[in-house]
Structure 1
Amino acid sequence: MSRQPAPATMDAEALAPLCKLDRHDDLSLQDQIRRAVVGAINSGILPAGTRLPSSRKLADSLGVSRNTTLIAYQKLIADGHLESRQRSGVFVASAGHPVSDLGMQVISPRRSTTAAAAIRQIDLAGQRGREFSFPPDWQSFRYPFLEGCYDRSLFPIVEWREASRLALAAQEVATWSIGSGEADDPYLVDEIRSKLLPRRGIAARPDEILITAGEQQALHLAMSVLASSGTVVGMEEPGLPEMRTLIEQRGSRRVSLPVDDDGLIVDESLSECDVVHVTPSRQRPTAVTLSRARREALLAQASRDDFVIIEDDFECELNYLVDPLPALKGMDETNRVVYVASLSKVLEPGVGLGFMVAPPEFIAAARHLRSIASGRPSPNNQRAAAFFLSLGHYDAMLRRLSAVFEERLIALRDALNHYRPLSIAVAPVRGGTTLWIRADSELSTRQLIRQAQSRGVLIEPVEDYYTSGAAPTNVFRLGVTSLPAKRIRDGIAALSDAMLATTGPEGEQERHLQVLADEDMQARLSGLTLHYRTVYGEPCTIRLNPDGTMQGRAGSAGEDFDQGRWWTEDGKWFRQWERWAFGETLSFYVAIDDHQIFWLDSDRIVRDTAVIIEPSDE
């Protein structure tokens, strides 16, 4: 009778390096040990029948208590990965070893010349989408002005855990796990139609709502229903590269529709379209809002010229600077708008839920396509989201996000207006999380990105949002989703230095300006009124009183008021506001040319300018 070979043994010194315990990890030490052992089993490092070191020996090697390794072993045994043999020890269970160790032959498919040729003929250029991607280590940069990268503190971990726990209660699992076919969770549908849609002025029946795996899937389904070869699709320029790819994949013809500071320009170029994709709440990428007049004109033209509108309601919840405008879908009286949105962008990356609102026939077609492609989104996630909404967590989260992003966006605007890097203009926004920055024509964004990164600043170029070759070279985006308010000012100061380094210190304007002496400043500036615009487009008026006080009003109605003092000393002009410019004392050289005043820094670089209104002109 032949003897059975002795089982292989993994000693503690060999197993310990595989565990790589991290005491700062969110996982407990027991769970880290479990994860390491399961990984070693699945990769074949621990074949079936391997004897593991005792819990005491492993604990000594790892520098942890014996209870830690004992609990880890017990859980692995309970899960069937390990087995305990009386008076023999702990072994890798037979059921736990990988398929590659079962003696099964791995069969490689025969090479197909036809298939290989087909793969080579795929037009990867049409599938490319975005060329720019955030650096994988973006969190290591001190000033990441990136939209869409969220700091972890914004996710409502405790509230989502509660909603998930409720969704996994036995009676809830019994409800959502036996749902029929492709039907969405009726509780989530009801929460959306009763809580989210009324805020956008939308009334919808349950059969007019479809849950999707995020906003992007909703856009894909909408295009799959509406567009085909020969369809003419209009999209904003600049606009989403993902939408451009969807149009190309459908074989449709694309029409670029220009955007200005009031959003999509509504004109006769729309008349040739069958479908129009628009982002009215927060235009992507410029962040401007489609005005009410343009919304009404767009709906009227859609009815007249018989085209369908896909309304991509991006960041509709973050209108905190002014009152929000109603959604196009809420204003639509002819059922021509397909409404697409998602739960908050902070939730979407992890939860992956969006929704679509359209006529019942459209929803039925989209549901059928969804069933073919991917099936309905996770019923468990749908029920958790329903609880998240019904318990008020969603509203609480939005209030918190609005406060956080409002603070950050205003901090960004104030910092830009304070440092005024070169000559820049900011597209007007009503809220949201991004600013669209237009700089001097001589600025190269590509060079600026390199200069900024060397200072720890990340900004987003805009080439991906334009048709090939049509992007301006002096425009970039700044976002605040990933950057705390307390670091924004220093980040803009660093960006300002990068812009100056990119364009060089000298310019024609600086060379011919003659700075004023103290006595000339006192005589020329006393009693003047100065008019200029902030970098974000609002008018501002400053009154320099002869007694050294000054008053300022900003905003379309002069609603933002501040006061301060000014004086001259050692050939420089000093100013200090109570609130504006962070309440700090700043000094400049001053030059006057015709009816313009110029403030220059210590390097004689123009940092600000205003139009002079003489006392006799007022």
Structure 2
Amino acid sequence: MSIDKTQSSGLRDQIVSQISRLIFEGLMPSGLKLASCRGLARDLDVSINTVVAAYRKLEEEQLIEARPRSGYYVCSDVGIRTDGDAIGRTSTRQRTSIGQKLNKLRRTEEIETIQRPNDWYKYDYPFVCNQIDDGAFPVADWRECTRLAMNRKHLKIWSADGLYEDCFELIEQVRQRILPRRGIFEPSDSILITLGSQNGLFITSLLFGGRDKTAVMEDPGYPDARKILQANFGNVRFQPIDSEGLIVDELLREADLVFVTPNRQHPTTVTMSERRRKALLQAAEEYDFYIVEDDYECDVDYRHSTLLPLRSLDDTDRLIYLGSLSKGLSPGLRLGYLAAAPEFIDAARDCRGMMMRHPPMILQHTAAAFINLGYYDGLLRRVRQNYELRWHLADTTIREKLPHFLKTGEFGGTVFVLSDPEARLDAMTICQAALKRGVIVEPIGPCFSNKTAGRYHFRLGVSSIQPGSIRKGIELLSEVISDLRATNS
């Protein structure tokens, strides 16, 4: 600390100003003992009376306190001064940390999500879900499409700010090549490109949400959807599922928005029946709510025939349809799309623009070329064949090694749900023990609104593990469970 004797402000006020600044910046923490009046006067080459007067002024402002026969100390409870306050004046408002501020705004801290090791791909038996086998990714084809998209004559198209618009070519590929496979035929102004299905759900929940609004989702259901809905709606209710999917009853009467995964229910893999789909659409019209349909695995479903999505059956524009290229192409690219009534798309585009103007244009142009040149269709054919092979391998081995643990794992998907039938081994114990043997399986307790109900459930995915490792990995999992049972018996 130093003072300038040439300044117009008095020596006492300079000392007060500098010490108060150091205190507010945290450089002089609570409880710190200050230099003695005599010592500070000597260091600053001022009279001892000047320092005594400065300390008394700081004491009056409750920044420091005098302790008998000990000296002066920084107070333990210091008020916060705003920029407009005069020096030494303190605010009555209590200081709060940024963490405290965030905790007051966020209501999703207690919602867990499904966890896996970040380096899951380094494990010998990664039965993780919703990931791809990167060895099957067509790197050369994607590189060629990137080269085409970056063609010099098209530089302005992808390098310029597109405002709120999307790549027209990608919109057309989604409209002409992707949606018709699912029985959906939309005009261009009914489609919006998103950074994955989750981004589409967040946009939708912002538009429909509010403190006085109620969202309904499946139970068990997608935990990240629960976080999004709870952040944007005043009330989130959980609707149970059965062998036909979401149960449709009077409990939906108060809903403003219902989130469902009818084609491949997350996490149980159940497909919603045709009867239940019609009932849900009728309830939406009768109770006046809207539906968000997440068709997250539609491109890689290898069943010869699947039920059409709700969007293809809806003639009331109550459906917001979410799709993604993540499962077929790559989850890391974060490309998806949203199909709904043009009026909703206009609002969604404006909402998206407040967060980001549009997904990266170079990425959109590359994906458009990849689909247009037939690379995506070829990739999907290979992926579906591979997934069907992996599903049969896993299904056979699970029924042989862990027959009583299998709960569900419908044909056409890539996930099996297992649970201890005796409710003795909780899923977290199994997953942690398996991890030590190089086997990754994932507990799905976060999918349940009641943590106790999901305590014993875990899932096994086959989308990224090599087919040759499936049997050995499940055999190791069976050994782990046998060892745990022996220890607990």
Q: Once the two structures are aligned, what percentage of the paired residues are identical?
A: 35
CA contact (8 A) 1:264 1:290 kept: yes
Match of 1:323 among 299, 305, 310: 305
Structure 2 distance, partners of 1:131, 1:317, is 25
* Equivalent position of 1:279 in the other structure: 261
* Equivalent position of 1:461 in the other structure: 443
* Equivalent position of 1:357 in the other structure: 339
Where do 1:431-450 residues align within 5 Å?
Answer: 431-440=412-421, 441-450=423-432
Distance 1:128 1:354, change over 3 A: farther
CA contact (8 A) 2:149 2:366 kept: yes
Moved more, 438-447 or 126-135: 126-135
Match of 2:377 among 385, 395, 405: 395
Give the SS at the match of 1:472: coil
Distance 1:485 1:348, change over 3 A: closer
* Equivalent position of 2:400 in the other structure: 418
Structure 1 distance, partners of 2:350, 2:109, is 24
Measured against aligned partners, the alpha-carbon deviations of 1:288-334 in whole angstroms (never above 9, x if no partner) come to: 21111111111111111111000011111222134111011001111
* Equivalent position of 2:215 in the other structure: 233
Distance 1:420 1:250, change over 3 A: closer
Give the SS at the match of 1:483: coil
* Equivalent position of 2:238 in the other structure: 256
* Equivalent position of 2:144 in the other structure: 162
Instruction: Letter of the 2:414 partner, please give it.
Output: T
Structure 2 distance, partners of 1:457, 1:448, is 10
Instruction: Letter of the 2:299 partner, please give it.
Output: E
Structure 1 distance, partners of 2:203, 2:182, is 22
* Equivalent position of 1:122 in the other structure: 102
Moved more, 300-309 or 179-188: 179-188
TM-score, length of structure 2 as denominator length = 0.77
Give the SS at the match of 2:424: coil
* Equivalent position of 2:408 in the other structure: 427
1:302 matched to 2:284: yes
Aligned-residue offset at 1:380: 1.1
Give the SS at the match of 1:233: strand
Gaps of 5+ in 1: 1-108, 508-618
Aligned-residue offset at 1:350: 3.1
* Equivalent position of 2:116 in the other structure: 134
CA contact (8 A) 2:210 2:234 kept: yes
CA contact (8 A) 1:405 1:433 kept: yes
* Equivalent position of 2:351 in the other structure: 369
Which of the two has greater strand per residue? Answer: 1
Distance 1:262 1:207, change over 3 A: same
4+ aligned runs moved over 6 Å, structure 1: 112-115
Measured against aligned partners, the alpha-carbon deviations of 1:11-32 in whole angstroms (never above 9, x if no partner) come to: xxxxxxxxxxxxxxxxxxxxxx
Which one scores higher on RCO, CA 8 angstroms, separation ≥ 6? 2
Give the SS at the match of 1:283: coil
Aligned-residue offset at 1:137: 2.9
Measured against aligned partners, the alpha-carbon deviations of 1:409-430 in whole angstroms (never above 9, x if no partner) come to: 1111011112235x22331513
Instruction: Letter of the 2:102 partner, please give it.
Output: I
Structure 1 distance, partners of 2:287, 2:107, is 33
Distance 1:368 1:404, change over 3 A: same
* Equivalent position of 2:36 in the other structure: none
CA contact (8 A) 2:391 2:411 kept: no
Give the SS at the match of 1:252: strand
Give the SS at the match of 1:339: strand
CA contact (8 A) 2:445 2:457 kept: no
Instruction: Letter of the 2:183 partner, please give it.
Output: G
Aligned-residue offset at 1:398: 0.5
Aligned-residue offset at 1:178: 4.8
* Equivalent position of 2:471 in the other structure: 489
* Equivalent position of 2:453 in the other structure: 471
* Equivalent position of 1:201 in the other structure: 183
Structure 2 distance, partners of 1:299, 1:311, is 12
* Equivalent position of 1:408 in the other structure: 390
Give the SS at the match of 2:299: coil
Instruction: Letter of the 2:466 partner, please give it.
Output: P
Measured against aligned partners, the alpha-carbon deviations of 1:496-537 in whole angstroms (never above 9, x if no partner) come to: 111112222898xxxxxxxxxxxxxxxxxxxxxxxxxxxxxx
Distance 1:439 1:316, change over 3 A: same
Aligned-residue offset at 1:339: 0.4
CA contact (8 A) 1:443 1:473 kept: no
Measured against aligned partners, the alpha-carbon deviations of 1:469-514 in whole angstroms (never above 9, x if no partner) come to: 343322110001221111111111111111112222898xxxxxxx
Measured against aligned partners, the alpha-carbon deviations of 1:252-280 in whole angstroms (never above 9, x if no partner) come to: 20110111232211222112211100011
Give the SS at the match of 2:218: strand
Give the SS at the match of 1:338: strand
Structure 2 distance, partners of 1:242, 1:149, is 16
Aligned-residue offset at 1:391: 0.3
* Equivalent position of 1:148 in the other structure: 130
Instruction: Letter of the 2:217 partner, please give it.
Output: M
CA contact (8 A) 1:188 1:383 kept: yes
Measured against aligned partners, the alpha-carbon deviations of 1:78-98 in whole angstroms (never above 9, x if no partner) come to: xxxxxxxxxxxxxxxxxxxxx
Structure 1 distance, partners of 2:483, 2:186, is 54
CA contact (8 A) 1:210 1:356 kept: yes
1:504 matched to 2:486: yes
Instruction: Letter of the 2:225 partner, please give it.
Output: M
Distance 1:214 1:428, change over 3 A: closer
Structure 2 distance, partners of 1:449, 1:178, is 48
* Equivalent position of 1:21 in the other structure: none
Instruction: Letter of the 1:437 partner, please give it.
Output: L
CA contact (8 A) 1:289 1:430 kept: no
Instruction: Letter of the 1:243 partner, please give it.
Output: A
Q: CA RMSD in A?
A: 2.3
Distance 1:129 1:154, change over 3 A: farther
CA contact (8 A) 1:338 1:356 kept: yes
Distance 1:332 1:131, change over 3 A: closer
* Equivalent position of 2:86 in the other structure: none
Instruction: Letter of the 1:361 partner, please give it.
Output: E
Aligned-residue offset at 1:136: 2.4
CA contact (8 A) 1:191 1:390 kept: yes
CA contact (8 A) 1:155 1:346 kept: no
Aligned-residue offset at 1:221: 0.4
Measured against aligned partners, the alpha-carbon deviations of 1:130-171 in whole angstroms (never above 9, x if no partner) come to: 444211232232111111333321322111111111101122
Aligned-residue offset at 1:179: 6.5
Which of the two has greater helix per residue? Answer: 2
* Equivalent position of 2:227 in the other structure: 245
TM-score, length of structure 1 as denominator length = 0.61
* Equivalent position of 1:380 in the other structure: 362
Aligned-residue offset at 1:347: 3.0
Gaps of 5+ in 2: 1-81, 84-90
Aligned-residue offset at 1:443: 2.6
Aligned-residue offset at 1:468: 4.8
